[in-house]
Amino acid sequence: MSEHNHVVNKEGELALNKVDDVLKRMDGERKEDILENFNAFKRYLGERIELAQGIGLSEETLAKTAEKIGDYLAANEEPRNREEKLLKELWNAGEQEHRHALAHILVRLAKTTQ
């Protein structure tokens, strides 16, 4: 896969505008495996956060990415469990600054899962 298909380029710069495209390309079965169980979702997110930190992305950048993912999930995916249902309700009830704060919390939650 060429570099233009990735969210992070070889210089470690993040292209937030590509997050939705990457999520849309994810294999349906893989996406279902991740979203079916909240612990699997946290593990997956935690693994991605570990990789992102390994290339030097800051917590703020991680939170912005988590916010884009949250926007995508809220708009395109139905919750598969009660935790995801609560997250979606919180996400939809909040304004942009609340969603950003929740994204920071999700990043920290996923880090503790590792």
Tell me the mean pLDDT in the region 63-79.
Answer: 92
Its CATH architecture, for the domain 3-113, is: Orthogonal Bundle (1.10)
Full-model pTM: 0.78
CB contact at 8 A, 6 and 51: no
Can you give the residue ranges of every domain in the chain?
3-113
Q: Collapse the DSSP code of 55 into the 3-class scheme (helix H, G, I; strand E, B; otherwise coil) and give the result.
A: coil
11 pLDDT band, cuts 50/70/90, is low
* Rounded mean pLDDT, 95-105: 97
Q: Residue 65, SS3?
A: helix
Q: Share the mean pLDDT of the chain.
A: 85
